[in-house]
Chains A and B, each alone.
Chain A
Amino acid sequence: MRNIIKNINIKADRTLILSKLNNNRAYVLLVFIMILMSICAPNFLGTGNIVPMIKTALLPIMAGIGFTYVMIGGNFDLSIGAVINVGAAVAMGEFNRFFAAFGGEAAGTKAVVLGWIVAILIALAAGVLVGLINGLLVAKGRIHSFIVTIGMMTALTGFVYTYCKGNTISADNTLFVNILERPFIKVPYLEVFTIRFLVTVIIVIFFEVLLLKAKWGRDLLMVGSNEEAAWHAGINTQRKIIWTFIFSGFTSAFGGVMFAISMNAAVPNYGERGINPLMIVLASTIIGGTELTGGRGSVVHTTVAVLTIQAIFNGLIIMGMGFDAQVLAAGVLLAVVVLYESYSLYKQNLKKGAKAALLKEVPELKARRKSAC
């Protein structure tokens, strides 16, 4: 039986290869950019560049996980930028509060550890709560996610500014900061292995497995692809959508927490004057092949796409171009990918419904027309 089916499948024509390439375009693009940059930018592949590059990518990678999930469910989450700030600020602020409550410097390491645990839990809970509210409003309230998350973004931005009182918050004790950012081994390239890196990798793998290998994820993909079909199949679609938003809140907040701890600073407006993390995440989710209407996507592909964008950024820096060029490059890349997606869909729609039997006649028709002319 299997052989028969394989034989049918062997029709390895050009379109199949192209579509395979397109499905894995995140990798293709990454390799292409890596090669291009290592030619154009000196020392691009050096450890002094690669390690910081990956470190910078960790935050958008975390936020990208949740964003991919939400998009697979067929929604948008524009509030991730704000949730990152909330996670960062709350973790820092609560640490300072609990550090003092647990006895401050006098109590030593114990107060630090306890303080961080409580603070991180509170920050993550805040992210989950935001996601839950978003999810409830979208799934149960049946309001468009675009509107809900815009409102949420406004509210959270206000909240963060109020929380920080407009200032940068730093932790009163830097013990943990060093642990998160301390590499396990001081070997070129392997320096990248820090706790923060490992935690991110574990979370990426967890969510990728949940999405593609677990039954839960398959059901979610079904919901994103055709909500009604999923509902008829007995899948609780609303709950799935709510979970996607919760994941989004969770991963964004977690990313924000780790970012703030490693920087030992939480600002209320990260990305407002620089490169907005929402932009990087949005671009990489789409470049990674997540379908805009939902139903297809992969966390790992998004992650690879984040690395691609980060590679472009770093390459441009080496080539002596600033922030400005990075924004432009990311914008153009996003635009090209979106255009490509829409254009191929547009082309496909033009031919949609054509009968295969009739298409076979086309060359003959064309030949006849030519001879008539």
Chain B
Amino acid sequence: MKNLMKINCCWRLMDEEVFSVEENVCYEVNKDTRRIKLDLFSTIVTKFGVFFMIAILAVFGIIVSPKFLSGSNLLNILNAVSYLGIVATGIAFVIYSGHYADMSAPMTMAISGVICVEFMRYGLIYGIIAAVITGIIIGSINGFVIGKIRCNSVIWTMAMNFILEGLVRWSYHGTQIYPDMANEQTYKTGFFLPLMYKLDPNILNIDLEARAAAFNGLAQTYPLGAPLVLYVMFAVMIAGYIVMSKTTFGNQLKVVGSNYNVAKMSGINCTRTVMFAFIVSSVCAAIGGIFMTSLNQVGAFYVGQGYDFQAVTALILGGMSLAGGRGNMAGVFGGVFTLGLISNILTLIGIGTFTQKMITGAIFILVVYVNAKSLRKLGRDYA
């Protein structure tokens, strides 16, 4: 009975342009109807996506090295990708909303890191709040321009990235900011440092070292044996999962991502929804930036460089589609984890960082190609 229903659902009158069909079903509606050949490989690829790939990689890893399955190695993999995981979770919302990518993520990371270092003088928590607010502001601007005026998202966020880069470099005259630096010279450059100094010259005398230690400790804390940033990544991802699939916003975002005009005509406030997506993205980037800055122990414009492309790579591997409205948080984790796995296995084999990058790029292109081909074989289109 259920089978019959499934068959029925695929029987549709000709509507000329779209011929998408549900996978895994034989079509025996009409005597003349051609049967679609079931392609096992394609089905597996589209059904399990990135986890199929993780399985292959894991088998490969076990063969390559006995160390692969050890707890510390797995923890290493996770730790290595946790910064990326946080940023990618945010960008996932942007791709989900059908807007390709948030290319301003690297500079959002950098600028929030810098702001955090500036404000951490008053206490770590102030630093974090200031950084997150920075993220919200950047996200709002992106979201407004893209959601309301319908600017091309890639180009606009790239422009935003350049502007932010210029801002950071300009206000610091190309220098960097160290959390524990507290001489008078430090207060001459920066976004808010001169202002802080003007308001309260006593700021020179605060106990910066302890606070700097607290800030630098963010990336060095290991509660229960795992780095703090790993917990943060999981927290962000779980929060991301809840927001994406359980909330009003997430569900509206799915409609917006699937078809912007339909969403608009269905009474969904698209501008607001898209803005939310970009704000989520920027806030995640800001959190990632804080940790990244803490890890490097220096705030500078190059913190987070390359994270935009890496995040997109991970997300596409994880089954997100540039067409929007597709994918989920499990896939995001899967994609990020895959990148970690590839790099880890290659390291175990003894391949250098640069060659790893080359191989990762090649694998990415290959995976995208196979995925697109499988989807098309099953009658779906891939954007």
Let me know if chains A and B touch directly in the complex, using CB atoms closer than 8 Å: yes
Q: Which of B152, B154, B163, B382 contacts A332 (CB 8 A)?
A: B163
Answer yes or no: A229 CB below 8 A from chain B CBs. Answer: no
A283-326 with Cβ < 8 A to chain B: 283, 286, 292, 322-326
Q: Mark A137-166, 1 if CB is under 8 A from B, else 0.
A: 100011110111011111111110110001
C-alpha spacing A137/B154, complex, angstroms: 20
- Indicate if the CB atoms of B372 and A143 lie closer than 8 Å: yes
- Return chain A residues, CB-CB under 8 Å to B154: 76, 146
- Indicate if the CB atoms of B354 and A166 lie closer than 8 Å: yes
- Indicate if the CB atoms of B361 and A155 lie closer than 8 Å: yes
- Return chain A residues, CB-CB under 8 Å to B165: 327-328, 331
Instruction: Closest A residue to B366 by CB, please name it.
Output: A151
A322-370 with Cβ < 8 A to chain B: 322-332, 334-335, 338-339, 342-343, 345-346
User: Given that A327-B169, A328-B163 are contacting pairs, would A292 and B150 also be in contact in the complex, using a CB cutoff of 8 Å?
Assistant: no
- Indicate if the CB atoms of B159 and A331 lie closer than 8 Å: yes
B330-364 with Cβ < 8 A to chain A: 352-362, 364
Task: Give the distance to chain A from B353, nearest Cβ to Cβ, in Å.
Answer: 8
User: Given that A144-B383, A146-B154, A338-B155 are contacting pairs, would A137 and B357 also be in contact in the complex, using a CB cutoff of 8 Å?
Assistant: no
Answer yes or no: B302 CB below 8 A from chain A CBs. Answer: yes
- Return chain A residues, CB-CB under 8 Å to B352: 162
Of B7-15, B50-58, B77-85, B308-316, the stretch lying at the interface with chain A is B308-316
- Return chain A residues, CB-CB under 8 Å to B360: 154-155, 158
Task: Give the distance to chain B from A156, nearest Cβ to Cβ, in Å.
Answer: 7
- Return chain B residues, CB-CB under 8 Å to A323: 169, 174
- Interface size for A (C-beta < 8 A) is 49
User: Given that A151-B313, A154-B360, A342-B149 are contacting pairs, would A286 and B155 also be in contact in the complex, using a CB cutoff of 8 Å?
Assistant: yes
A260-290 with Cβ < 8 A to chain B: 268, 272-273, 279, 282-283, 286
Answer yes or no: B36 CB below 8 A from chain A CBs. Answer: no
C-alpha spacing A253/B369, complex, angstroms: 25
- Return chain B residues, CB-CB under 8 Å to A273: 302
- Return chain A residues, CB-CB under 8 Å to B313: 150-151, 154
- Return chain B residues, CB-CB under 8 Å to A161: 353-354, 357
Task: Give the distance to chain B from A67, nearest Cβ to Cβ, in Å.
Answer: 12
C-alpha spacing A268/B353, complex, angstroms: 14
C-alpha spacing A147/B305, complex, angstroms: 18
C-alpha spacing A166/B354, complex, angstroms: 8
- Indicate if the CB atoms of B305 and A148 lie closer than 8 Å: no
- Return chain B residues, CB-CB under 8 Å to A342: 145, 149-152, 156
Q: Mark B360-383, 1 if CB is under 8 A from A, else 0.
A: 111011001100110010000011
C-alpha spacing A322/B169, complex, angstroms: 9
C-alpha spacing A151/B309, complex, angstroms: 8
- Return chain B residues, CB-CB under 8 Å to A283: 159, 162
- Indicate if the CB atoms of A338 and B372 lie closer than 8 Å: no
Instruction: Closest A residue to B322 by CB, please name it.
Output: A144
Which of A159, A331, A332 has the most chain B CB atoms closer than 10 A to its own CB?
Answer: A331
- Return chain A residues, CB-CB under 8 Å to B128: none
Task: Give the distance to chain A from B165, nearest Cβ to Cβ, in Å.
Answer: 5
- Indicate if the CB atoms of A328 and B312 lie closer than 8 Å: no
- Return chain A residues, CB-CB under 8 Å to B372: 141-143
- Indicate if the CB atoms of A157 and B156 lie closer than 8 Å: no
Instruction: Closest A residue to B352 by CB, please name it.
Output: A162
Q: Which of A151, A158, A329, A345 contacts B365 (CB 8 A)?
A: A151
- Indicate if the CB atoms of A141 and B373 lie closer than 8 Å: yes
- Indicate if the CB atoms of A343 and B155 lie closer than 8 Å: no
Task: Give the distance to chain B from A245, nearest Cβ to Cβ, in Å.
Answer: 14
Q: Which of B155, B310, B322, B368 contacts A292 (CB 8 A)?
A: B155
Q: Mark B27-41, 1 if CB is under 8 A from A, else 0.
A: 000000000000000
Q: Which of B163, B369, B376 contacts A335 (CB 8 A)?
A: B163
Q: Mark A38-74, 1 if CB is under 8 A from B, else 0.
A: 0000000000000000000000000000000000000
User: Given that A151-B361, A158-B355, A282-B155 are contacting pairs, would A325 and B368 also be in contact in the complex, using a CB cutoff of 8 Å?
Assistant: no
Which of B156, B159, B373 has the most chain A CB atoms closer than 10 A to its own CB?
Answer: B159
Q: Which of A148, A324, A339 contacts B166 (CB 8 A)?
A: A324
C-alpha spacing A329/B310, complex, angstroms: 27
Answer yes or no: B214 CB below 8 A from chain A CBs. Answer: no
User: Given that A150-B313, A332-B163 are contacting pairs, would A143 and B369 also be in contact in the complex, using a CB cutoff of 8 Å?
Assistant: yes
Task: Give the distance to chain A from B296, nearest Cβ to Cβ, in Å.
Answer: 15
C-alpha spacing A161/B166, complex, angstroms: 27
Task: Give the distance to chain B from A275, nearest Cβ to Cβ, in Å.
Answer: 9
Chain B interface (Cβ < 8 Å from any Cβ of A): 100-101, 145, 149-152, 154-156, 158-170, 172-174, 302, 305, 309-310, 312-313, 316, 322, 352-362, 364-365, 368-369, 372-373, 376, 382-383
Chain A interface (Cβ < 8 Å from any Cβ of B): 76, 137, 141-144, 146-148, 150-159, 161-162, 166, 268, 272-273, 279, 282-283, 286, 292, 322-332, 334-335, 338-339, 342-343, 345-346
A-B contact pairs, 22 of them (CB 8 A): A76-B154, A146-B322, A150-B313, A151-B313, A151-B361, A152-B361, A154-B309, A154-B364, A155-B360, A155-B362, A156-B358, A156-B361, A158-B358, A161-B357, A162-B358, A292-B155, A323-B169, A324-B174, A326-B166, A331-B164, A339-B149, A342-B149
